[in-house]
């Protein structure tokens, strides 16, 4: 499958909206990305036009986002680009979403302290659809 992977560098424009859905945790927030360029004539850095993206996260990334990201913080987001067109009240709208694979703070603009998340003991969880219970594995040989 062909996918468009992008890396965005910008700021969190909204608070993280976290939901614990039936399919698992999800989170979303809006991200503002403003390009900057050097203006040779005026000898200054000039801001370009700001673009806004809706960043979506699922599962563990969604949970960690909710406890880590606040409005205005500089971020780096890597994920799959999704462009959607839909009709609302007779007007066609285009929105650009990113399904995040990874999100982190932009350390060119500040410092961060990493805290590892403690998970439950994986041996206590039920086997997933990819794992065979020990009784099935013994009979396969």
CATH code, 123:
2.40.50.140
Task: Tally Cβ neighbours within 10 Å of residue 3.
Answer: 10
Query: What's the pLDDT tens digit per position in 53-105?
Result: 999 999 999 999 999 999 999 999 999 999 999 998 999 999 999 999 999 99
What is the per-residue burial (b if ≥16 Cβ within 10 Å, else e) of 5-35?
Answer: eeebebbbbeebebeeeeeebbbbbbbbbee
pLDDT value, residue 131: 45
> What is the per-residue pLDDT for 124?
52
Confidence of residue 130 (pLDDT cuts 50, 70, 90): very low
Average pLDDT of the chain, as a whole number: 88
Least confident segment among 26-30, 43-47, 85-89: 85-89
Q: How confident is the model at residue 119 (pLDDT cuts 50, 70, 90)?
A: confident
Total domains in the chain come to: 1
Domain carrying residue 113: 5-140
Question: pLDDT: is 33 or 133 the higher one?
Answer: 33
What's the CA angle centered on 26, arms 25 and 29, to 5 degrees?
145
E-strand stretches of 48-121: 51-58, 74-88, 91-105
According to DSSP, the residues that pair with 24 across neighbouring strands are 21
Choose between 133 and 81: higher pLDDT: 81
């Amino acid at each position: 499958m062909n996918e468009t992977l992008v890396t965005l560098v910008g700021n969190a424009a909204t608070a993280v909206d976290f939901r614990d859905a039936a399919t698992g945790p999800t989170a979303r927030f809006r991200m503002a990305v403003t390009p900057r360029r050097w203006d040779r004539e005026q000898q200054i850095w000039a801001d370009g036009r700001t673009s806004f993206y809706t960043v979506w996260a699922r599962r563990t990334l969604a949970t960690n986002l909710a406890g880590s990201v606040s409005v205005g913080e500089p971020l780096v987001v890597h994920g799959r680009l999704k462009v959607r067109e839909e009709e609302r009240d007779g007007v066609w709208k285009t929105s650009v979403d990113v399904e995040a694979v990874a999100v982190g703070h932009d350390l060119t603009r500040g410092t961060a302290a990493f805290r590892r998340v403690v998970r439950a003991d994986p041996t206590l969880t039920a086997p997933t659809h990819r794992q065979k219970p020990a009784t099935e594995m013994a009979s396969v040989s």
